[in-house]
Each structure stands twice: as structure tokens, then as C-alpha cells.
């Protein structure tokens, strides 16, 4: 396989299991390697790194930032109750308090703050006002949201524009070449669709999709706390065809399967895409970057996504 120069600046480093199933020493090695390869965006949350003693990822990253002096951009989140992941906690006071705690734990202002879940019962204006306050008080530079429907995100953008507030700059949908089995096991997770991609492209949103390798399915890496669930989520006939096509194309191009899968996401839209990846080892990190910057032709993209014209 041809070796391409890894460029971690193309992706964001996900830290979902840092301090838990990815031990602290291993997590620090991943962070060091990511930055050495040119990476600068770290994706985390106050509910990442779950252990019996609490959640470890943000504190681990904060200690690493202080010790390393790295000038990484950290994107964190607010508004999730881990016991009820389908419900967002969007009380403005709670969101603001959570954001301040994250900045304190990390030891610096956030680059991005995302509302972890939506709650359509909360008026979008209340959410937009809280987000604007956190930008103006210096807690975060940008705001945005994972798992928000296209229509709800568009409502936030319109409200912010009308009221001259800081609007969302980041959307973080679930998105990979592999679609979930239907009905999805976690219906509250919002997948990117053509309308979502069009909204991002037309409004300048940066897309930071997660599960970009279908939780390891596309890379044949099934490990971690949710491995059985993820296998059931993605093990469909259509996805098996996509994975075989991906393997064959990656071999022809001399790049890795994960690298090609990430390059396809970047080729699928005119929006800026910074895929979140969650490698557990430095070897997996380097493999994911091998070819992630490859320019994908429209014909190959159609072949890999199953959208070829008959």
C-alpha cells in the first residue's frame, strides 16, 4: 500500500473513551501523536470518558493541555443527561453553567461549544440567546449543535440573523458511507442527509460528523463498550456491498480503507467537513489519515455510495 503523508489537520480527534477504555497514558500518547501530525481540533464533552468515579475526558485533556502547551482547538458540548440520552437539557442557565465548567476544567476558553441534544419544546430563541451570551463573555469562540434536525438548525440560523446574534457555525450529525439499519436503534441521533448538507453549504456551517467509519464497521474494527450494538446497527446487505467496494477502491488507489471513507465524506458536499475520528491506538490514527486528503472523482463517489445511474 502506498504511504501518504498523514495530515491530522483534516480531521478532529474524538475522545469519547479517554480515561475509561482508553487509559490515560494511551490517551496522552494519542493526543501527542495527533498534534505532531498536524492535528489541531479535539472533540470532547463533559460526559466523555465514563468511569465509576465520573467522567474523565475533559479533565484528562485539560491536564494534557497544561503540560504540553499545545495550542489545540477544543470543541466541547453541553445539554446531555447520560441517563436519558434521547432528551436534551436546554435550560439556558444549565447550559451556561455547563459551558463555564468545561472551560474551567480545560483551563482555557473553548473554540467551539455544541448543544449536545435538541429539545423542540424549548423555543429556539432561548437557546440562541444563551449561545450568544457565551460567545460575548469569551467562554467560546463558536457555537453549534450535534443531532439537530435540518429544520431546527435553520430556525436557529434565521433567529440569530434577525436579532443580530452569533449564530451556529458548526453542525455535528451522524454521517458515514454506511447507513444505519432501519428503524435505527437510537432514533434521537440525527444523520446527515442531502438537505442537511445543502444547509451547511449555503450558510457556511462547518460539518463535524461523528461515527464517520460507522463505529468501526467500515474499518473492520469492532471494539469498545458498544461493539455488539454497532455491529447490529450497520451489518446490512447494502453496507456490506459498500464496504467491499471501499476495500477494492482503496487497494487500487494505494490508500487505507478508513482514509478513503473519510475522503468520500469530504467529497460529498461543498461544505467544509472536518470528520471526527476515534482511534484507540496511534496505529489506527495513522491508518485513518492514510489517504484522507485524496481527491475523489464524482464517478468513484457514486460507485462507493451506491448512487450510480443505471
Kindly list the strands in the beta sheet with 12-14, ordered across the sheet, starting from the edge strand earlier in the chain.
Answer: 272-273, 206-207, 170-172, 140-146, 110-115, 73-78, 41-43, 12-14, 276-277
**Where exactly are the structural domains of the chain?**
8-239+269-280
Strands (E) located in the chain: 12-14, 41-43, 50-51, 54-55, 73-78, 110-115, 140-146, 170-172, 206-207, 272-273, 276-277
> What nine digits make up the cell of 46?
463533559
> What nine digits make up the cell of 268?
460529498
pTM for the full predicted model = 0.93
| pLDDT for 309 | 46
Q: Which of 255, 251, 182 is nearest to 4 (CA)?
A: 255
Per DSSP bridges, beta strands 272-273 and 206-207 are parallel
| pLDDT for 83 | 75
For the domain made up of 8-239+269-280, the CATH class stated in words is alpha beta
DSSP 3-state percent helix, strand, coil across the chain (nearest 5): 45, 15, 40
- Say how many residues make up the chain: 310
**Alpha-carbon distance 34 to 41, whole Å?**
9
Query: CB–CB of 2/255 below 8 Å?
Result: yes
| pLDDT for 232 | 80
Split the chain (310 residues) into runs of 10 and give each run's mean pLDDT.
65 97 97 96 96 94 97 94 77 93 97 92 94 97 95 97 97 95 90 96 97 89 64 88 96 96 96 96 95 95 76
**183: cis peptide before it, omega within 30°?**
yes
Q: Which of 173, 170, 168, 169 is nearest to 195 (CA)?
A: 173
**Alpha-carbon distance 168 to 166, whole Å?**
7
Query: CB–CB of 90/52 below 8 Å?
Result: no
Query: CB–CB of 265/176 below 8 Å?
Result: yes
| pLDDT for 1 | 40
Cα dihedral: 251, 252, 254, 255 (round 10) = -60
Amino acid at each position: 500500500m502506498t504511504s501518504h503523508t498523514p495530515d491530522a489537520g483534516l480531521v478532529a480527534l474524538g475522545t469519547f473513551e479517554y480515561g475509561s477504555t482508553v487509559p490515560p497514558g494511551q490517551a496522552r500518547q494519542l493526543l501527542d501523536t495527533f498534534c505532531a501530525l498536524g492535528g489541531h481540533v479535539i472533540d470532547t464533552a463533559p460526559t466523555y470518558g465514563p468511569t465509576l468515579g465520573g467522567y474523565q475526558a475533559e479533565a484528562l485533556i485539560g491536564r494534557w493541555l497544561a503540560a504540553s502547551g499545545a495550542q489545540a482547538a477544543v470543541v466541547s458540548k453541553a445539554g446531555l443527561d447520560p441517563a436519558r440520552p434521547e432528551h436534551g437539557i436546554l435550560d439556558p442557565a444549565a447550559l451556561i453553567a455547563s459551558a463555564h465548567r468545561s472551560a474551567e476544567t480545560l483551563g482555557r476558553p473553548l473554540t467551539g461549544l455544541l448543544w449536545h441534544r435538541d429539545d423542540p419544546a424549548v423555543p429556539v430563541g432561548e437557546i440562541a440567546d444563551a449561545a450568544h451570551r457565551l460567545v460575548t463573555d469569551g467562554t467560546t469562540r463558536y457555537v453549534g449543535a450535534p443531532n439537530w434536525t435540518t429544520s431546527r438548525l435553520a430556525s436557529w440560523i434565521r433567529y440569530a440573523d434577525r436579532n443580530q446574534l452569533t449564530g451556529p457555525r458548526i453542525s455535528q450529525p451522524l454521517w458515514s458511507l454506511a447507513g444505519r439499519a432501519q428503524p435505527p436503534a437510537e432514533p434521537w441521533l440525527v444523520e446527515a442527509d442531502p438537505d442537511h448538507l445543502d444547509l451547511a453549504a449555503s450558510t457556511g456551517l462547518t460539518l463535524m460528523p461523528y461515527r464517520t467509519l460507522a463505529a468501526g464497521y467500515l474499518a473492520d474494527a469492532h471494539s469498545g463498550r458498544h461493539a455488539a450494538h454497532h455491529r447490529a446497527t450497520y451489518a446490512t446487505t447494502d453496507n456490506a456491498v459498500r464496504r467491499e467496494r471501499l476495500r477494492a477502491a482503496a487497494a487500487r488507489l494505494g490508500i487505507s480503507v478508513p482514509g478513503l471513507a473519510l475522503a468520500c465524506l469530504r467529497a460529498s458536499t461543498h461544505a467544509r467537513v472536518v470528520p471526527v475520528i476515534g482511534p484507540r491506538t496511534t496505529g489506527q490514527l495513522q491508518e485513518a489519515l492514510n489517504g484522507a486528503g485524496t481527491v475523489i472523482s464524482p464517478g468513484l463517489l457514486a460507485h462507493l455510495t451506491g448512487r450510480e445511474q443505471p
